[in-house]
Structure 1
Amino acid sequence: MEKKRSAKISIVGAGSVGATAAYALVMGGLASELVIVDVNKEKTLGEVLDLSHGAGFVKPVNIKAGEYKDTKDSDIVIITAGAAQKPGETRIDLVNKNIKILKSIVPEVVKYSPNSILLVVSNPVDILSYVAYELSGFPKERVIGSGTVLDTSRLKYEISKRLKVDARDVQTYIMGEHGDTEFPAWSLTNIQGIEIDEYAKEVGCRYNEAVRTEIHENVKNAAYEVINRKGATFYAIGLAIKRIVEAILGDEKCILPVSTLVEDYYDIDDIYLGVPAIVGRNGVERVLKVSLNDDEIERLQSSANALETVLDASFPKEGVAI
């Protein structure tokens, strides 16, 4: 497909994440048409009016509060709908409620936009991405989860604070589940090609196992910290959604740790996980099997096993019923 910088994008879910994603997409000038669908019609209309009143400050975009039929022929459909994570809840705690919601959404998306790319953001995102893949019948490259794109940005932020460097110069990944079993790929982490321990020594910053553990814990618990203080996370995930959409529409062929179907990946098969992948106009164009050390391989396998256990209990693979 040719590069397409502006497109029809639909968002299913007008809650905090969906609305913030819509704002980020409008600010980025990525959509020529933006449709927002939610069961709460009044709130959806309110969000659309609020966004539309900024018409004098952004590129032209037709923003509409609609039904599923209005999403017809979308290039990308973003799913943010679902029960929100509450204080004390893990993402996995949401699984049964949100699988039920997803079962009502995906058939409608497929009906009206059979050639779209599905971007799943609702939690638990890895489980729901797999469910969306199964329910949609779409090829795996066209069903993408937001994965650990946000977690990786959180990791870059934590490293940048300690090493006093621009977060954009930090090259690293959080891999695995977008959740409690995620882990930083320290063996791949560098500052613009300079090994992180070497860079830390050069600039006189402390960097050791204790620092790595603290950083990992901060990243893993970041969402809980925000939810406990303000009830929900939405600004950073809105920006992460914008980044993924930008990569797709611009056919960037950039590397992002999205949640995608993993097959024959360090003995992991048939599960959605956050791993580095090349993202372009066709969605996930290639999954990259990056070189991990033994500890990281074990962590990735443990993450996959944890998700597999939840998936088997909540959505048995042998029988898919809508």
Structure 2
Amino acid sequence: MTHSGQAETRHDRKDAPTTDRDRVAIIGAGHVGATAAYALMLRALVREIVLIDSDPAVAEAEAADLSDANALARPGKIWAGTYADAASARIAVLTAGAASHGAESRLTLAGRSADIVSTCVARLVEAGFAGILLVAANPVDLMTLVALRRSGFSAARVIGTGTLLDTSRLKQTLAEYFKIAPGAIEGLVLGEHGDSEVAAFSTVRIGGLTLEQFCKGGPEIDRIDVERDVREAGYEIVMGKGYTSFGVATAIVRICESILRDERTVLPVSTLLTGQYDITDVCLSLPCVLGGGGVERILTPKLEPEEAAALAASGATLKAAIAATLADYATT
């Protein structure tokens, strides 16, 4: 596998399933699921959004509240449904999982979340779901692997939200420091969406300049502080309000948009690695080309040696977590 920055062919487009492109199903009507549904509604990406929850009353209440808002937005249908309704959806977004508490590591949720994710995926498959499965349950990299193994789908069709939100946090942090717009900054956070994630500063570009070039003649940023701020941002939000919702919901919608519109945009999402950076049999985030078929290519940007070592360590951390808590879930 090349590490030179060339793109690697990963999946071809003939794997794209035939479904109703105007329907998205959201499994789990909690904070993240309901907020994602609201964001999808405002973007008018689909005409139908179905909410599914283990507590039907919650799904019905959220759907009713969203429908009230939809009457003042764009025409569409939002309702509480069943897995049979999800069967024909273009994308099924899986937000159901165990909730974290305070500074609890995402990896500590693995066993609790795996039970939920495995059950939800089994019911989706039983209903005949033929679309793309987007996993947002934490720990997202491990739950993406559980969903992949339990579904039997190709790796192209099972995607985790991964480090897309962390990458957004990196851009926001740098933007605040340099007093420029976040959209003017390119850069990636790779690996686990969690404590072993890697802020790849070598990938940062501002107006075509590397970070070193942009900072020339000015104050240097403290990379350790920036990486810590990005890594701990989610924990701080949970400590303050008990959960996260807006950031991850927006990441969900951005991924859905790329798939639904067949954009083939490049986003850092969690997918199965098959030798990239010598990492195999684990899901973690690298920049991926996302289109109508899901993950169509995985890119391997050239990293600094210490970044590549940190990415390998991130993969090892996830493999250890799989062996410790997910042996019954993450195997075929």
With the length of structure 1 as denominator, give the TM-score of the two structures.
Answer: 0.94
What secondary structure does 1:52 align onto?
A: helix
Alignment deviations for residues 96-118 of structure 1 (CA, whole Å, 9 cap, x no partner): 00101112100111222432100
* 2:94 is the alignment partner of 1:82: no
- Tell me the amino acid that sits aligned with residue 214 of structure 1: D
What is the alpha-carbon distance in structure 1 between the residues aligned to residue 197 and residue 153 of structure 2?
Answer: 27
Q: Distance in 2 between matches of 1:250 and 1:267?
A: 32
Letter of the 1:207 counterpart: E
Q: How many residues align?
A: 317
Identity %: 38
Separation (CA, whole Å) in 2 of partners of 1:86 and 1:317: 25
Question: Alpha-carbon deviations, 1:35-66, whole Å to 9, x = none?
Answer: 10111222211111111012333222111101
Say which of 243, 253, 256 aligns to 1:245: 256
Post-superposition Cα deviations, 1:150-203, rounded to whole Å, max 9, x if no partner, equal 00000000000001111011100000000000011111111131112222336x
CA distance in 2, matches of 1:104, 1:72: 15
Distance 1:269 1:292 in 2: 18
Q: CA RMSD in A?
A: 2.0
1:120 aligns with 2:131: no
Question: Comparing 241-250 with 48-57, which one deviates more in the overlay?
Answer: 48-57
Code of the aligned partner of 1:248: I
- 1:189 aligned onto 2:200: no
Q: How does 1:92-241 map to 2 (within 5 A)?
A: 92-201=107-216, 204=218, 206-208=219-221, 211-241=222-252
Q: How is 1:294-313 mapped onto 2 (pairs within 5 angstroms)?
A: 294-313=305-324
For 1:110, the aligned partner's letter is V
Which residue identity does 2:163 align to in structure 1?
A: T
What letter corresponds to residue 55 of structure 2 in structure 1? N
Contact 2:272 2:282 in 1 (8 A): yes
User: Residue 275 of structure 2 is aligned with which of 252, 257, 264?
Assistant: 264
Counterpart of 1:15 (choices 5, 30, 50) is 30
Alpha-carbon distance in 1 for matches of 2:48, 2:42 = 13
Matched, 1:65 2:65: no
Q: Which runs of 5+ in 2 are unaligned?
A: 1-15
Distance 1:287 1:173 in 2: 14
**Partner residue of 2:41?**
26
In the alignment, the residues of structure 1 paired with residue 282 and residue 233 of structure 2 have an alpha-carbon distance, to the nearest angstrom, of: 24
CA distance in 2, matches of 1:176, 1:71: 30
- Contact 1:6/1:32 (<8 A) preserved: no
Q: Is the 8 A contact 2:288 2:298 kept in 1?
A: yes
Q: Which runs of 5+ in 1 are unaligned?
A: none
TM-score by length of 2: 0.91
SS at match of 1:270: strand
